[in-house]
Structure 1
Amino acid sequence: MIPEEFREFFVAAAGTTGALVGLLFVAVSVFPDAGREDTTRAQFHTRSSAALLVFTNALIISMAALVPDVRLGWWAIVAGAGVLVFAAATARSIVSEARALRDGPGRQLGLIGLPGLLVIGGFEVYAGIRLLAAAPELDLGAIKTLMYVLIGELMYGIARAWQLLGVRDSGLFSTLRLLAGRDPARGGE
């Protein structure tokens, strides 16, 4: 059972995530052509799928944490494993597509935020294992780790949704390039 002092966090996370899922559907419906064009289809689908995955993941973990007497460790392990499987399948898909186009997969792998998915999935599985190992006691450190993972999932999902709008790539490396004065949008790269 989750201690009462953590309950408000999971209630807020569930509500926030539910709203973000709705906004993601709006973002996807605003630019439906980007999902059909050959040049943008893979990026559009990958970004929208990744955002939906982490939002759904955060929503499920938040709601599961609110169920009385829940074994949250199992929920975290399954959710984290799902993120890791998605990351692996997406990387494989991008590498296969890059080979078919005789293009390097490096830039495309960065576009999907693969490292972010690996961190999210890895820490989620780690927290779940710690929660199961501590049972029947409750590992408060593992609960806090899971809470930070949920925050990370929301940040990641918002970044991918922002990219769907085509406003600007908000990934770490593109931000660092922008700070270094190499803005690809202005031909600085």
Structure 2
Amino acid sequence: MKYVAPMGIPDEYHEFAIAVAGASGALIGLLFVAVSVSPDRVHRTTTHAEYHTRASAAMLLFTNALVLSLMILVPGSTPGGWAVASGVGILVFDAAATRSIVTAVRHRRGHWSSLRMASALLVIAGFEIYAGVRLLTEPGNWDPLRTLYYVLIGDLAFGIARGWQLMDMRRISLFSSLRTLAHGDEADAEPEEPAKD
């Protein structure tokens, strides 16, 4: 019986993977800068859990995007198995992050709104595993790769949002901008609270 090598990913998908690999690599470097700018916040009792969870989530998502995009560029490879493994890894991190958030809230060192981050990670992991399983079970069908590419876009966008919060610029966001439009500058006059979300 003659061995048939698996069909590699079509070339038209490679340019996007190259762009994601470059962007995620640059964002990982910027994340290191963001964390090192204010190392004292890592040790504050009131922000330790949230800061650590956000930084870890951003690093996880950027690394996920980098690894998957590089796997797509390996000749003759299919990223299905990597997507499933990475999705499961995100689920494990999400479970640990949720437990950390709940513990911080019970000790009055966190906010329930941080669970929105856990929900977003759950959605990302779900779509990533779905795309990975389809890539494994439907060889030669590259439609699931488009789903995986949307996941990679979500990785970068969500990771950037978490990195932005690490820079303590949480008030300059979509929701705070809408509040300013609705209520004027008085929203900015309110005393700052620890970062939520």
Between structure 1 and structure 2, the one with the greater Rg is 2
- Deviation at residue 156 of structure 1 after TM alignment: 0.5
Which of the numbers 80, 93, 101 marks the counterpart of 1:86?
Answer: 93
Which of the numbers 25, 29, 42 marks the counterpart of 1:35?
Answer: 42
- The CA distance in 2 between the partners of 1:27 and 1:89, in whole Å, is 23
2:9 is equivalent to residue 5 of structure 1: no
- What does residue 155 of structure 1 align with? 157
- Deviation at residue 30 of structure 1 after TM alignment: 0.4
- The CA distance in 1 between the partners of 2:188 and 2:133, in whole Å, is 43
Q: Scaled by the length of structure 2, what TM-score is found? A: 0.84
- The CA distance in 2 between the partners of 1:167 and 1:87, in whole Å, is 24
> Number of residue pairs matched?
184
Structure 1 runs of 4+ aligned residues shifted over 3 Å read: 169-186
- Deviation at residue 170 of structure 1 after TM alignment: 6.6
Which of the numbers 130, 135, 143 marks the counterpart of 1:131?
Answer: 135
> Secondary structure of the equivalent of 1:186?
coil
Counterpart AA for 2:148: L
- Deviation at residue 65 of structure 1 after TM alignment: 0.6
Q: Deviations over 1:108-153 (max 9, x none)?
A: 323xx22221111111001001101102x2x222000001110110
Is the CA contact 1:58–1:154 (under 8 Å) kept in the aligned structure 2? yes
Instruction: List alignment gaps of at least 5 residues for structure 1.
Output: none
> Secondary structure of the equivalent of 1:125?
helix
Is the CA contact 2:61–2:159 (under 8 Å) kept in the aligned structure 1? yes
CA RMSD of aligned residues (A): 2.4
Instruction: List alignment gaps of at least 5 residues for structure 2.
Output: 1-7, 192-197
